[in-house]
Amino acid sequence: MHSKRREETRDRRRVVWGVAWALGWLVTVSWDGLAQSPGRILKAATRAHGGEKLLRRITSWQAEGTITRLSDRSAGRYLGQSQSPNLYRTAFDLRGLEFDEGFNGKSGWIRDSRDGLRTLTGAASREFEAEAVWRSRRWLDLSKQKARIAVLGSAEIAGKTTDKLLLTTARNIRLTLYFDRATGLLLREEIPLGETTRVFDYADYRPVEGVPEPHRITVTLGAEAFEIVLDRVVHNPSLDRARFDFPRLSNEPLPDIPTLLEAVRQNEDRVDDLLERYTYRETIIRREIDSQGRATEKESNTYELTFFQGNRIRRLVARSGRPLTSQEEENETRKVEKRVREIEKREAEKKRRAEQQRDVAQSTAGPPDPERGERISIADVLRASQLVNPRRERFRGRDVIVFDFEPMPGYRPRKDFEKFFGKMAGAIWVDALDKQVARVDARLVSAFKVAGGLLASLREGASFVLESDRVNDEIWLPTRADINLNVKVLLVKGITVNQTIAYGNYQRFSVESEKEKLAPPDPETPPSP
């Protein structure tokens, strides 16, 4: 009897322990699924797509096939091309409707039947550049690109469970990626472009030289959906770089480029002199990007800027949109008064000594000092750059000449900070009538070190956008600047800067009997309507 009871007790214990073990195993499995790290997911994806060694061998690719608009079944040919590190182009036609887009390493462009041919600007430009880099490098160099990866959980795609990742680039562009949890293959991408999000669904993977490549792609753009069926995918074809450049469609002649650039340089050099006759406001908005890739505004400061004896005076007038307190006003007044006294004292010294001090400060101290009235201008960019691929466009209702630019071979900077501009690439918009720069979109193509890297270094990929507008029919002045960079300070600390600077309220505070003119417009160039 006792023996039977002991046996029953053992059986119950076995059941209890078995259930506990099973529950523990289920919890562990569930936790492993929930706790998947981005690194583990991407490693599995790398293995699924042929392994890192094979993926890194692919420096270019070309895909050809047919594209069908699902709403009316109209079909045409499709072409996709990419070349490392960031060249990308897609083109297709549907019953006479042609679409073409490309990124040439410096700027992005798009051509369609609705808006014609134009260079991408603003968010669309940054987003298309991010897509071009993604198409070329996939996920292999995300840490080098200073991109962030976060796991957003799981999602069902075409009946398959996927791991959902959010990739946020150094320029705050967010791509959402879905990897099949069972196979590791990429099943979906969500990539922004301007006001839309393009969704790419991938299927029918087939090996191409050992690397699985999708041969059926469904692209969703808002209410429209397209199916691409590829009949040919080639790795490492020889691609002509010119295929990624801005298409030449217009027969309208360009102005004499050297003459135009010389006028632009002269005008930009004179902007500083005219700017001293203006007071204006500057609002700096600083943002931070969290681990999920979300950008949040941390603070904003508004300054009033004037000039005194050729030196810039900056006065804080608001914090995060609210006026200063009386105590803060008093503190700012004391700072301005102190600044004025310093200027008066320095300007009272002999001219030779003052000029010598300015020369030494600019040639050895690195970046220009805004408190001395030294301002980085577009002329600095032009001196350090080689301008290529000129074309005519319309920008904000005016005729412009757009150039891509890249570092000028053999450029020798006159000042230390000018070395920075010898490492930039991007695009410049020049007003055809006024011969002044309306917009610059630039990024750092190689790292820039201050004091040999001992003090700080800007990492590759740092970028800025500067837009200007016409003021008082005499001068183009900044209206907005977007700055995005990652700085390593004192060999240790990394600082990410994500800022927008808005300029406005320009007011001329000195009036001359005869207004100083910039380089006259080309009489052959008709005025913009």
pLDDT at 216 (0 to 100): 98
Nearest by Cα to 133 from 74, 189, 67, 88: 88
For the cut 80, the answer to whether the pLDDT of residue 30 exceeds it is no
Nearest by Cα to 404 from 244, 287, 220: 244
Q: Which pair of tokens denotes residue 159?
A: 């009946």
The residues facing 156 across adjacent strands are 161
pLDDT at 379 (0 to 100): 65
The model's confidence at residue 189, banded by pLDDT at 50, 70 and 90, is very high
pLDDT at 408 (0 to 100): 82
pLDDT at 290 (0 to 100): 62
Q: Which pair of tokens denotes residue 315?
A: 């006065």
For the cut 70, the answer to whether the pLDDT of residue 91 exceeds it is yes
The model's confidence at residue 13, banded by pLDDT at 50, 70 and 90, is very low
Q: What is the pTM (predicted TM-score) of this model?
A: 0.67
pLDDT at 511 (0 to 100): 39
End-to-end CA distance of the chain: 108
Of the two residues 330 and 294, the one the predictor is more confident about is 330
Q: Note the pLDDT tens digit of each residue in 57-82.
A: 999 999 999 999 999 999 999 999 99
Backbone φ and ψ of 220, nearest 5°: -115, 125
pLDDT at 80 (0 to 100): 97
Whole-angstrom Cα distance, residue 422 to residue 114? 38
**Residues contacting residue 461 through CB under 8 Å, at least 6 positions apart:** 145, 146, 170, 171, 443, 444, 485, 486
3 state SS of 324: coil
The model's confidence at residue 246, banded by pLDDT at 50, 70 and 90, is confident
- Secondary structure letter of residue 516 according to DSSP: P
pLDDT at 166 (0 to 100): 95
User: Mean of the per-residue pLDDT values for the chain?
Assistant: 79
Of the two residues 159 and 288, the one the predictor is more confident about is 159
Element counts in the chain: helices (H) and strands (E):
8, 26
Whole-angstrom Cα distance, residue 261 to residue 284? 31
Q: Note the pLDDT tens digit of each residue in 347-392.
A: 777 555 655 555 554 443 444 444 444 455 566 677 778 888 888 8
Highest-confidence range of 322-331, 407-416, 485-494, 513-522, by mean pLDDT?
322-331
Domains for the chain: give ranges and CATH numbers: 38-244 (2.50.20.10), 257-508 (no CATH)
Of the two residues 183 and 143, the one the predictor is more confident about is 183
- Average of pLDDT values for 10-19? 42
Whole-angstrom Cα distance, residue 327 to residue 312? 23
pLDDT at 92 (0 to 100): 93
Highest-confidence range of 23-27, 418-422, 449-453, by mean pLDDT?
418-422
Q: Is-contact 378 442, C-beta < 8 A?
A: no
Q: Note the pLDDT tens digit of each residue in 368-380.
A: 444 444 455 566 6
Q: Is-contact 171 484, C-beta < 8 A?
A: yes
Whole-angstrom Cα distance, residue 260 to residue 524? 12
For the cut 50, the answer to whether the pLDDT of residue 25 exceeds it is no
pLDDT at 152 (0 to 100): 93
Q: Is-contact 358 349, C-beta < 8 A?
A: no
Spacing of C-alpha 229 from chain mean position: 31
pLDDT at 378 (0 to 100): 67
Nearest by Cα to 37 from 296, 294, 291: 291
Q: What percent of the chain stands above pLDDT 90?
A: 31
Of the two residues 494 and 61, the one the predictor is more confident about is 61
Q: Which pair of tokens denotes residue 523?
A: 């009489």
pLDDT at 491 (0 to 100): 52
- Average of pLDDT values for 464-474? 84
Q: CB 359: neighbour CB atoms within 10 A?
A: 11
